[in-house]
Amino acid sequence: MKDATIYFDNAATTPMDRRVARAMRPFLDGIYGNPSSLYRQGRLARQAVEKARGQVAALLQAASDEIIFTASGTEASNLALTGLVEPMAPGPVHIVTSRIEHPAVMATCAAQEQRGVSITRLPASPDGLIYPADLAAALRPTTKLVSIMAANNIVGTLQPIAELGRIAHSAGVLFHTDAVQAGGKLPLDLKSLSVDMLSLSAHKLYGPKGVGALYLRKGTNLLPIIHGGGQERGLRSATENVAGIVGFGCAAEIARASMAEETVKLVALQDRLIECLCSGQLPTYLIGHRYKRLPGHVCIGLAGMEGEAMHLLLELDAHGIAVSSGSACSSHHVDAPSETLLAMGFDPVRARGSLRIALGRFNTADEVEKFLELFTKIVRKLRPISSRSQETTKCREKRKK
């Protein structure tokens, strides 16, 4: 299989920045010590881990000792939800989340529900927003945690995290946000936000796969979900992935320095895509909020051609362009309607027909123009699925005659 020449799926994963790879290289070769060891190799590894912890903390305007390294953003969210709820048993526990969360949160909430925890899942607006008033109405005396993502991975809509967090805190409830999509792309100042826990993933901000982090505000108590040697303040036992953590730290530092410039570039490319794809010249329309969205993230629907989404994706892939039909984490359910779009009020047919175009640091205006030219040609060759159904019906009638 040939590599995609134009990569437009940065919401699924980002290519590793070469500067990150260079920073990691010494820890894949010469500096191989265990960070828990006291001799020189171990001390060098420990110093590298702590430097990276400071770099990730700086990206969030947090303190170094509020960063817990994990193996992924998914593990970070699992630790936040499960590690908080377990100490509260056997009393009644209520969690508020939304119907458009990443599976890392959705599945963890479902598992907690099986253990007797009460879960309220808030719906989303047609633009993919969670209404603060809905959160306020859902809170109960037994509510212990609210978990709402900062930015949706499928439609790109940004949530009013600051306001949602304030509502939770005003009721004495802890607030967690899955910021895996937002981290490194949007300013996140945890000194001012009412956020107690936040999940990050390195591979979404041009770092390596296999490493994530949980921000844990001082004074927030969790129990570990992985037991062993007591690493990461006893909350995440296992010998640290030193090279991965170093890469994460480097990626966080680069993101912090380049975020403003990259946002300007990505918003301009995003606007160009939306202008061309949603002008009425093609049977495509924008999904998600027009302005409150991740920089470079465009999700489009295929009006009357929902059944052709996968065909379109594969045609683009054959020409060396990588886009997504939705979340990479749900690619094994490609025939099912998107739960996110259903929660936004889409009917099951429309919820099957979407494409996600997620631009990133290394994409160019020339690539966008090439994509638009090819996309237009492919779409105009396709026929609405309804017309194909009509042809099939006519053929059947002829056979009967």
Which token pair is 182? 């937002």
The DSSP secondary structure of 135-158, one letter per residue, reads HHHH--TTEEEEE--SB-TTT-BB
C-beta of residue 243 within 8 angstroms of C-beta of residue 24: yes
For 161, the token pair is 């995290």
Identified catalytic residue from 250, 276, 278, 329: 329
Nearest residue to 184 (alpha-carbon basis) of 250, 102, 269, 265: 250
Compute the distance between CA of residue 265 and CA of residue 160 in angstroms, rounded to an integer: 23
Q: What stretches of 129-279 adopt beta strand conformation (E)?
A: 143-147, 174-178, 197-201, 212-216
- Rounded Cα distance, 357 and 124, in Å: 21
* CA 369 to each of CA 189, 269, 277, 363, 380: distance values in angstroms, whole numbers, following the listed order: 35, 10, 12, 11, 17
Query: Three-class SS of residue 345?
Result: coil
Residue 395: partners with Cβ closer than 8 Å, 6 or more residues away: none
299 is annotated as an active-site residue: no
> Which backbone phi and psi does 300 adopt, to 5 degrees?
-120, 150
CB 163 within 8 A of CB 133: no
Contact 24, 208 (CB under 8 A): yes
Residue 378: closest CA among 283, 288, 273, 298: 283
Longest Cα–Cα distance in the chain: 88
- List residues bridging with 354 in a β-sheet: 301
Label the pairing between strands 174-178 and 197-201. parallel
Q: Could you tell me which of 71, 13, 6 has the C-alpha nearest to residue 327?
A: 13
In whole angstroms, give the CA distance from residue 248 to residue 251. 5
Cα 254–Cα 268–Cα 151 angle in degrees, nearest 5: 60
Q: Which residues are catalytic?
A: 329
